[in-house]
Each structure stands twice: as structure tokens, then as C-alpha cells.
Amino acid sequence: MRIPALLTLVAALFTSCHESERSISVSETRELTLFDQKYPGNIKDYPPLTWRRIHGTEMRIVNYLAGPEDSVEIFMGISQGGVLPNSNRWLGQFGKDPAADLTAFTEIQVLGREAYLVEASGDLAAGMGNPAKPDQGLIGFVRKSGEDVITLKMTGPAADVAAQKEAFLAYATSLEFVDLHIIPAP
């Protein structure tokens, strides 16, 4: 007695489980606003087409890979510690002597303000859980931003980093701050 009732119930369920057709009609649209997009750190960027964006992290608000077999990392962060200490920390990662002052670095304009270009090559010391790596290169900038610094750093095999230098500098100087306060909320 139970089996015929169960079969009838199952048959009823399967015969009534068809998807009805639905349609959506768009009657109006609106312009996209910055609320529709994500600009990490309120910085709008224009990366080269050959760079591949990867997911950012807590410390890397912008994160790219470039070069042969994604051998070069390009990443931006906002940190503390000042321009000279951060620049010298990067030099120290390559066993280089610290700079006495900022005149040791080339000044470039980034985000409407002076930034300092740091370059190094050689053997990269182990750190942050990564092993030491021979014949590596670094190009980056450090820029004061209020009490913090904005950094953009490119690392990888020395020859691959050197090949990306022009693209890196063009990218760095194309960065723009996005002023979210001038855009009305939708």
C-alpha cells in the first residue's frame, strides 16, 4: 500500500519540475560610477597589457605578474616607516649598503608628488618565508603619503626585471588618485 502511494508522489514531483521561461526587460540604464568599480587604496592604475593581475593580499593592494613564465612580481602596498628606512630595507635585502639620505635615489613624480626610485640587483637574501635567490633584480619607488608610505616594487630575475623597467616607470607615472568624495552616491 505504501509503495504505490510513494510512486505516485515521486511521479507527481518529477512531472511538475520543469523550468518556466522567464524574460528580463531593461527599461532604463545609468552611467557607471566609482561605486561600481574597485580601486584599491583609491588608486586608479593603467597596467601594461602584458602584465597579469592577480588577487591582492592584506599587504599588497595591487598585485601583478609579468615576464617570461610570470617570473616578475609587481606589487603595491601602503606601509609605515618612512621613505629612507623602507628604501634602505630593500637595499639590505640585496646586501647593499644603506643610503645616507634620499639624494642617493632618483626622484620621480608619482601621484602628484616626489617618489624615490630604488634599484638593486644581485643575490636576494632569504626572508618572509622565501629562500635566498641568486641573480635577482629590484626596481621600486617609495613615496610619502601622510604618515604612511606608498610603495611599488618589482622583483624577479635580474634580466627579466631590467626588461620590464620601461613598462614599470610608465605604469608608476600613470597612477592616479581617485577622489571618491566628488562622486554622488547613486
34 occurs within a structural domain: no
7 occurs within a structural domain: no
CATH assignment of the domain containing 126: 3.40.1000.10
Kindly report the pTM of this predicted structure: 0.75
Lowest-confidence segment of 15-24, 51-60, 127-136, 169-178 by average pLDDT: 15-24
- Give the domain range for residue 84: 54-178
27 occurs within a structural domain: no
Task: Give the rounded percent of residues in the chain with a pLDDT score beyond 90.
Answer: 63
94 occurs within a structural domain: yes
Question: For the segment 55-101, what is each residue's pLDDT rounded down to a tens digit?
Answer: 888 888 899 999 999 999 999 999 999 999 999 999 999 999 999 99
Total domain count for the chain?
Answer: 1
Q: Answer with the residue of higher pLDDT: 57 or 162.
A: 162
Contacts of 101 (CB under 8 A, 6+ apart): 84
